[in-house]
Amino acid sequence: MLKLKKSFLNSTNVITFNQNMSRFYDLPKFVQWIIAIIAFFVGFGGTMIFMMKSYGLLLLPILAPIFNLVSVPFFRLIGYYKYLNPYVLSTIQTEKEYDLHNVFTFDYLVNFKWADRGKKAQRTLLGHYFKALLTIIERIETGQLSPEVKIVGHSYFFSDRTAEKLGFTISKAASFWVINSALQFIELTYLYSFSQGKWAMPKFWKVKRAEIVGSDLVKKKEFLEGLVKKLL
């Protein structure tokens, strides 16, 4: 595993903070709600104060990861973020479409330890992405979801080779997703660096769209199971 320079972060402090964060979902539900609501509105209010400045838009790449950090628990509790597993979430889950998204800083702090950076984080993230696809397959097989559902994901790290083996169609993402990735490049960069085990710049300007129909995904069940077993 590649090692980060000591100046990147104090590992002892990170581990302690991570241990505290990981207990959040063990708290009673009403306590989670109280913390989530306070964090959301404090974060939203603070963000708006800066956004209303004449230079507010210039601060958006800095404000975005802060707001994402404090808003995740709230969006999860109200059901806007629907987690397929601790590392993959969805905001659209209908009979016609399922979208897949990578998780945010809050989820990294809850689920990872500092020692996980690098190869272990890569395998965990990729393995759970495949597990999310298996979850969708299970819902199709049990009749909870139509075989005609369209599964869509947007990312800058898709391997065309792996995607094609899974039956996905890869295309250039719409301008919205390119702009969205650009505005969040700070968060994308440090999360990507964590998974790489060193400072690294993701090619967020090359974000791709991957799409597959549910019935075609079901045909890849055994292949996906093999990948998950290998990675996790």
In this structure, is residue 17 part of a structural domain? yes
Q: Is residue 4 part of a domain?
A: no
Q: What is the mean pLDDT of the chain?
A: 89
**Is the pLDDT reported for residue 13 higher than 60?**
no
Q: With 90 as the cut, is the pLDDT of residue 62 above it?
A: yes
Q: Which residues contact 41 (CB under 8 A, 6 or more apart)?
A: none
Number of domains in the chain: 1
Using alpha carbons, select from 139, 63, 156 the residue that is nearest to residue 101.
156
pLDDT over 90, % of the chain: 72
In a domain, 3, yes or no: no
- Give domain status of residue 67, yes or no: yes
Domain of residue 85 covers 9-231
**CB distance 122 to 196 below 8 Å:** yes
**DSSP E strands: which ranges in the chain?**
82-85, 88-90, 97-102, 150-155, 169-172, 208-213
Q: What is the pLDDT of residue 99?
A: 94
pLDDT of 24 > 80? The answer is yes
For the ranges 41-50, 90-99, 112-121, 159-168, the lowest mean pLDDT is seen at 159-168
**Residue 9: what pLDDT?**
46
CA distance 111 to 10: 18
Query: Percent of the chain having pLDDT more than 70?
Result: 90
Stretch 133-160: mean pLDDT, rounded? Answer: 91
Q: What average pLDDT does range 138-154 have in this prediction?
A: 95
* Structural domain contains residue 1: no
Q: DSSP class of residue 93?
A: B
Give yes or no for a contact between 80 and 116, defined as CB atoms under 8 angstroms apart.
no
pLDDT band at 159, cuts 50/70/90? confident
The values of phi and psi at residue 204, to 5°, are -65, -20
- Supply the Cα-derived Rg of the chain in whole angstroms: 18
pLDDT band at 19 (very low <50, low <70, confident <90, very high): low
User: Cα separation of 223 and 55, whole Å?
Assistant: 50
Q: Which pTM value belongs to this model?
A: 0.86
